[in-house]
Amino acid sequence: MTDKGRAELTFFTNNGTGEVHLHTTDVNLLSTSTMSMLAKELQAKSSDIAWRDILTHVTGNTIEFIRRGEPAEEIWPTDENVETRYLVNPLLYLGHPTVIFGDYGSLKSLVALMVAYVVQLPYTNNCLALGTLAESTQCLYLDYEDDRRSFARRLGAIQRGFGEASMPICYRRMTRALSDDVDQIAKIIADKDIKFLIIDSLGPAARGNLNDPEPAIKYHAALRELGITSLTLAHNAKSLPGQKPSTSIFGSVFFTNLARSVWQCKSDQEAGDEEATVMLKHMKANLSRLHPPLGFKFKFGERDISIRHVDISETALETELSLSTRITAILRGGEKSLSNITAILDNKEETVRRTLYRMAKKEQVVKVGQSWGLRQR
């Protein structure tokens, strides 16, 4: 039963030789007229049973059970290690909601489809620098933006790009808000043993005024009810003219607060170019440290899309990296002076100096005479 009073009821009767299915229906338990009509329908099928009394009893007990919620329980401390578990390391926490957000054209939908293919195959020895479970994880893709034909074409192109086995991914075209459709989705999850859910995308899946907290709270309550690993694709918040580009999800801050992990997706692709670089930057982490950015190179052929891992510091997106990360990449080529590092970064010398000394306190770099180098581990 949902918080709106809807429930699926199945009735059986015993004819003396065993149970016989009598009726199945989806009803609103809070609607007096609906329950009255159901009682009449059941009475016509089996007149010797007091259906009104039974339905009153079912309604009362069900509503009371839902209102009570889950019971409180005593939990004792354990000696288990605090260890983060991943469906895809480091991208997806196992059993928790993750959000990837970005501008239109950032290729986040292709990233999600890439992840779905990798976890369901499973593609453990991949060229993406992503860790996966050894067993296949069934995926359900909820599509609010496109159609099954486009989905099938993109899935086929990615499969041919990897050159691995072809397999189906469970797909559902969506028109209703996730919270309004949670019962039907839960049935699909149970019937097909789904363990990973992708929602493309957040706006139509949450509905309402996304700047209000209520849509975000209802959306994440639906994800919590479904109880499996999820990846939601979302759009970037808009920036006012003259402001720096936004680094947050469009809508209420609760879309970020209630997710356990949030990644920003950015891409670099020239018009007409057959290649694109995609960077995923970790913006929020509840169950681990913030992970370094992930980089992928997409190459678009006539019939395939090949994808491989790429070091962001060697691409045009390297300016999106933190200063310490860029300095680390520079020093991999050998020791350099402060002035050399500053010139390569095209930054203020004082800013670079402060960053180097912070890195030295963390034992990431060491000063050797007038030069700086990476500390040997």
Local structure of 135: helix, strand or coil:
coil
22, part of any domain:
yes
Question: Which helix (H) or strand (E) segment is 365 a member of?
Answer: strand 365-368
Residue 240 pLDDT grade (very low, low, confident, very high; cuts 50, 70, 90): low
Closest by alpha carbon to 306, among 126, 119, 141, 99?
126
Looking at the structure, do residues 159 and 306 belong to the same domain, yes or no?
yes
pLDDT of residue 33: 82
How many C-beta atoms lie closer than 10 Å to residue 371's C-beta? 15
For the chain, what percentages of helix, strand and coil (3-state, to nearest 5) are there? 35, 25, 40
Q: Is there a domain that residue 138 lies in?
A: yes
- CA atoms of 343 and 338, how far apart (whole Å): 9
Contact 107, 268 (CB under 8 A): no
Residues 353 and 338: their CA atoms lie apart, in Å, by: 7
Task: Say what the pLDDT of residue 28 is.
Answer: 79
Find the length of the chain.
377
Residue 78: inside a domain: no
Per-residue pLDDT reduced to its tens digit, 76-134 = 888 877 789 999 999 999 999 999 999 999 999 999 999 999 999 999 999 999 999 99
- What is the mean pLDDT of the segment spanning 213-223? 96
pLDDT of residue 303: 95
Q: Is 341 helix (H, G, I), strand (E, B) or coil?
A: helix
Number of domains comprising the chain: 3
CATH at 343: 1.10.10.10
Whole-structure pTM value: 0.80
Q: How confident is the model at residue 307 (pLDDT cuts 50, 70, 90)?
A: very high
- In a shared domain, residues 53 and 153: no
What CATH number did the domain enclosing 174 receive? Answer: 3.40.50.300
Give the tens place of pLDDT for each residue, 179-190: 999 989 999 999
Domain that holds residue 17: 6-68
Whole-number CA gyration radius for the chain: 27
Q: How many CB atoms lie within 10 A of CB 220?
A: 21
- Residue 243 pLDDT greater than 80, yes or no: no
The total of other beta-carbon atoms located within 10 Å of residue 133's CB is 16
Half-sphere exposure of 175 (CA within 13 A, CB side): 1
pLDDT band with cut points at 50, 70 and 90 for residue 264? very high
> 301: which DSSP letter?
-
